[in-house]
């Protein structure tokens, strides 16, 4: 979900209580980006732009001012 939204140009914040879960999530997004670069669906620059739209946090306070929240379990 976060990847698709960031790819569409939307700023995304991943939230989890576990830093390990955040690391795992970001690693999965990095793999998706690398795969799209290899398949020539996006450029390296586009991958960097997508990645820059994704932040991460372990606190709900990071969502202050957000227009939309999606919970995925």
The per-residue pLDDT for range 17-61, each reduced to its tens digit, is: 999 999 999 999 999 999 999 999 999 999 999 999 999 999 999
pTM of this prediction exceeds 0.85: yes
- The b/e string for 48-58 (b: 16+ C-beta within 10 A; e otherwise) is eebeebbebee
Paired residues of 38 in beta bridges: none
């Amino acid at each position: 979900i976060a990847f698709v939204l960031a790819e569409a140009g939307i700023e995304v914040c991943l939230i989890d209580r576990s830093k390990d879960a955040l690391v795992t999530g970001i690693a999965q997004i990095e793999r998706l980006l690398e795969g799209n670069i290899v398949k020539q669906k996006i450029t390296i620059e586009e991958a960097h732009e997508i990645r820059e739209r994704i932040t991460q946090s372990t606190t709900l306070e990071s969502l202050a001012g957000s227009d939309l929240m999606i919970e995925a379990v």
